[in-house]
């Protein structure tokens, strides 16, 4: 399923990082000396590091073992590009970090700089941008400049870069650096050069209004998500080991459209929306997600479209199943909402295929855009020709669970184009990034209309409180939330109990009724289907309690 594409590689990087703290330290070197006539105004000062979104129960415990208090201002830098060098201070996920320092008195700031490490095979990336700010009281801040990476994030070899902001002449007591943290960001020395006291008529810059965040979940049924409320993921596409998984039948989809009692009677609607997304691998051996080593080609994209529209299965089956349910319930105008995945146009596909009579080389942004446009148009043409009577296509789903900045320098431009084009044909572009994925804090500016973040609690050894902080992040950023059930939840009791934690926290944090939901499950024909027909009461209960959650009537379930 989609988790196989990116989540496991992400988790493996985190797992590997846990062993690094035990490795021997490397020698350090003196930090760069201040320019003539200046001093380092923050040398030896204490500081606080503040993530953009809470990570206390998720990533903070991991990064704590890779930090030495005071190291960012101790006057020493790492002597190598080896991430094991203990001068490198680790920051993990959280969107960004704000390093705040009280200089103790008002001084004249001339230059601000920080050094970072880049080592992509280890998930360590240069910050995409570093912003510097000053304050007189520690509450009201003035941005004084942003420095963007001068080195492409697609570079695959270790490197070091200093982000320096020069030519300043400002008075301030407090200094702050804000840098993006996509996976791991490793910094070794924050320096502020200038003069003690106020000299050369230094003034304080104009206060910058702080960023304003939505501080509200993406509401269910909102236009931003095409009116969806509870959207279940239905896997299709290509699966060589078991082709039956590629095709979802009418009978398999029926208990998703309508709530089915243990006796087999349909008494209500269940999920109102359906996301059709590729299972993973493609016929050519490529991956439909963002994998630079395994790009897909034209024939893979055509295969996925044809599979999605295959007669009697998938969309066709959903149309029939919806027709049956709405007839039983006496709701003739009802339609199931649909989103269809867009594969990732990987730039390493230099010989993607012929699109509209011309070869496409996806190393060019223009060809990536052309391929997405061709795909969307092809889907819309297929949809129109299918004459579905019981379905409404509301949008497209971006299959990559992260903004792949390290794959292509034009990622931002490409995503914004995709969003613009999808909206130009009257649809929305939806996204479901994994927990704190690259770009999640910028989901709207990247071109997405709606987004639901994955807490990933079911797939990691986080404490239950992680669900609460994931919900807080979603609310702050205006996102919906994904409800996830592990593929082994019917085999391992602890995983079943984890699923109920998602529902319980939905009450605690208000996302049961206040947020748009997507639901992750396993493929072929899906975990909720298995629960619906299970003779085991504790498995059948999952289906029933999911229905209650959808309807907003769920009550907390005791979890061991």
pLDDT digits (tens, 9 = 90+) for 74-131: 999 999 999 999 999 999 999 999 999 999 999 999 999 999 999 999 999 999 999 9
Q: What does the DSSP assignment read for 208-228?
A: PPPP----S---TT-GGGTT-
Q: Tokens in use for 24?
A: 């021997």
Three-state DSSP string of 421-464: HHHHCCCEEEECCCCCCCCHHHCCCCCCCEEEECCCHHHCCCCC
Closest CA to 559 of 470, 499, 491, 485: 499
User: Could you identify the residue written with the tokens 């200038």?
Assistant: 194
C-alpha torsion sign, points 331, 332, 333, 337: positive
Contact 188, 87 (CB under 8 A): yes
CATH class of 223-551: alpha beta
Produce one character per residue of 299-308: b if its CB has 16 or more CB atoms within 10 Å, e if not: ebbebbbebb
Cα distance between residue 346 and residue 290, in whole Å: 6
> What confidence score (pLDDT) does residue 151 get?
96
> What confidence score (pLDDT) does residue 2 get?
37
Cα distance between residue 560 and residue 558, in whole Å: 7
DSSP type of residue 167: S
Cα distance between residue 487 and residue 527, in whole Å: 7
Question: Does domain 3-195 fall into CATH 2.60.120.260?
Answer: yes
Residue range(s) in the chain whose domain bears CATH number 3.20.20:
223-551
Q: Percent of the chain scored above 70 by pLDDT?
A: 95
Contact 186, 299 (CB under 8 A): no
- Angle, in degrees to the nearest 10, between helices 365-386 and 315-329: 40
Three-state DSSP string of 238-299: CCCCCHHHHCCCHHHHHHHHEEECCCCCEEEECCCEEEEEECCECCCCCECCCCCCCCCCHH
> What confidence score (pLDDT) does residue 3 get?
42
For the stretch 470-481, pLDDT in tens is 999 999 999 999
Evaluate if residue 12 carries a pLDDT over 70: no
Compute CA distances 46 → 86, 132, 168, 470, 518, whole Å: 18, 17, 23, 29, 43
Cα distance between residue 338 and residue 392, in whole Å: 6
3 state DSSP class of 75? coil
Closest CA to 125 of 182, 178, 85, 163: 182
Residue range(s) in the chain whose domain bears CATH number 2.60.120.260:
3-195
Q: Where do the DSSP E strands lie in 366-427?
A: 391-398
> What confidence score (pLDDT) does residue 26 get?
65
> What confidence score (pLDDT) does residue 558 get?
85
> What confidence score (pLDDT) does residue 4 get?
35
DSSP type of residue 45: -
Q: Tokens in use for 177?
A: 């650096």
Which burial class, exposed, middle or buried, applies to 58 when counting CB atoms under 10 A from its CB (0-12, 13-18, 19+)? Answer: buried
Average pLDDT over residues 347-367: 97
How far is C-alpha 370 from the chain's CA centre?
25
For the stretch 127-176, pLDDT in tens is 999 999 999 999 999 999 999 999 999 999 999 999 999 999 999 999 99
> What average pLDDT does the structure give for the chain?
94
CB atoms within 10 A of CB 409: 15
Cα distance between residue 342 and residue 268, in whole Å: 31
| Residue 21's pLDDT band (cuts 50, 70, 90) | very low
The dihedral formed by the CA atoms of 176, 177, 183 and 186, expressed in degrees to the nearest 10 = -110
| Residue 279's pLDDT band (cuts 50, 70, 90) | confident
> What confidence score (pLDDT) does residue 20 get?
44
User: Could you identify the residue written with the tokens 């006057």?
Assistant: 75
Q: What angle do CA 210, 214, 215 make, to 5 degrees?
A: 100
The least confident of 9-18, 52-61, 290-299, 387-396 is 9-18
Closest CA to 189 of 160, 218, 168: 160
Closest CA to 17 of 61, 48, 52, 75: 61
> What confidence score (pLDDT) does residue 28 get?
85
Q: Tokens in use for 447?
A: 């071109």
Cα distance between residue 537 and residue 274, in whole Å: 26
Cα distance between residue 454 and residue 268, in whole Å: 27
CB atoms within 10 A of CB 3: 21
Collect all residues with Cβ–Cβ distance below 8 Å to 361 and sequence separation of at least 6.
Answer: 349, 350, 351, 352, 367
Average pLDDT over residues 31-37: 96
Q: Where do the DSSP E strands lie in 370-424?
A: 391-398
Collect all residues with Cβ–Cβ distance below 8 Å to 13 and sequence separation of at least 6.
Answer: 122, 123, 183, 184
Evaluate if residue 6 carries a pLDDT over 60: no
Q: Tokens in use for 211?
A: 């960023």
Cα distance between residue 477 and residue 474, in whole Å: 5
Evaluate if residue 534 carries a pLDDT over 90: yes
The dihedral formed by the CA atoms of 519, 522, 527 and 528, expressed in degrees to the nearest 10 = 30
Q: Is the pTM of this model over 0.85?
A: yes
> What confidence score (pLDDT) does residue 208 get?
97
Evaluate if residue 233 carries a pLDDT over 80: yes
Q: Percent of the chain scored above 90 by pLDDT?
A: 92
Closest CA to 3 of 431, 301, 529, 434: 434
Q: Tokens in use for 149?
A: 């990476």
């Amino acid at each position: 399923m989609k988790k196989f594409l990116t989540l496991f590689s992400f988790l493996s990087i985190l797992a590997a990082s846990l062993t690094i703290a035990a490795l021997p330290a490397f020698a350090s070197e003196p930090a760069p000396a201040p320019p003539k006539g200046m001093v380092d105004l923050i040398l030896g000062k204490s500081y606080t590091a503040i993530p953009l979104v809470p990570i206390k129960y998720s990533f903070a415990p991991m990064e704590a073992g890779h930090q030495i208090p005071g190291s960012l201002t101790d006057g020493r830098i790492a002597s190598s590009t080896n991430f094991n060098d203990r001068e490198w201070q680790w920051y993990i996920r959280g969107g960004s970090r704000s390093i705040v320092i009280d200089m103790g008195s008002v001084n004249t700031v001339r230059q601000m700089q920080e050094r970072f490490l880049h080592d992509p095979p280890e998930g360590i990336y240069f910050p995409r941008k570093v912003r510097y700010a000053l304050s007189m009281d520690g509450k009201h801040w003035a941005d004084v400049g942003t420095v963007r990476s001068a080195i492409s994030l697609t570079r695959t070899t270790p490197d070091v870069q200093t982000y320096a902001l020069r030519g300043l002449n400002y008075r301030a007591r407090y200094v702050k650096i804000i840098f993006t943290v996509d996976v791991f960001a490793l910094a070794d020395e924050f320096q502020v050069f200038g003069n003690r006291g106020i000299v050369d008529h230094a003034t304080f810059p104009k206060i910058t209004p702080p960023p304003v965040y939505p501080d509200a979940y993406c509401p269910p049924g909102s236009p931003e998500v095409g009116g969806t409320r509870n959207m279940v993921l239905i896997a299709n596409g290509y699966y060589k080991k078991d082709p039956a998984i590629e095709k979802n039948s009418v009978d398999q989809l029926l208990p998703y459209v309508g709530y089915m009692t243990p006796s087999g009677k349909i008494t209500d609607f269940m999920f109102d929306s359906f996301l059709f997304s590729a299972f993973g691998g493609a016929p050519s051996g490529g991956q439909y997600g963002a994998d630079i080593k395994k790009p897909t080609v034209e024939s893979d994209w055509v295969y996925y479209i044809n599979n999605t529209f295959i007669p009697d299965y998938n969309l066709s089956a959903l149309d029939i199943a919806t027709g049956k349910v709405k007839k039983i319930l006496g709701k003739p105008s009802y339609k199931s909402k649909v989103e269809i995945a867009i594969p990732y146009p990987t730039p390493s596909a230099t010989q993607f295929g012929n699109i509209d009579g011309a070869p496409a080389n996806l190393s060019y942004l223009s060809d990536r855009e052309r391929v997405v446009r061709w795909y969307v148009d092809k889907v819309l043409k297929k949809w129109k020709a299918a004459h579905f009577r019981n379905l409404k296509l509301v949008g497209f789903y971006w299959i990559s669970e992260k903004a792949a900045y390290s794959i292509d320098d034009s990622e931002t431009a490409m995503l914004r184009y995709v969003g613009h084009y999808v909206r130009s044909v009257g649809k929305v572009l939806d996204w479901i990034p994994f927990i704190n994925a690259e770009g999640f804090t910028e989901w709207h500016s990247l071109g997405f209309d709606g987004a639901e973040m994955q807490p990933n609690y079911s797939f990691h050894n986080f404490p239950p409180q992680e669900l609460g902080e994931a919900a807080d992040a979603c609310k702050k950023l205006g996102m919906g939330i994904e409800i996830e059930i592990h593929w082994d939840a019917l085999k391992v009791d602890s995983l079943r109990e984890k699923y109920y934690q998602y529902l319980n926290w939905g009450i605690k944090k208000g996302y049961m009724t206040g947020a748009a939901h997507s639901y992750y499950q396993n493929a072929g024909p899906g975990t909720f289907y298995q629960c619906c027909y299970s003779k085991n009461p504790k498995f059948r209960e999952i289906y029933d309690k999911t229905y209650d959650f959808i309807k907003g009537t769920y009550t907390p379930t005791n979890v061991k």
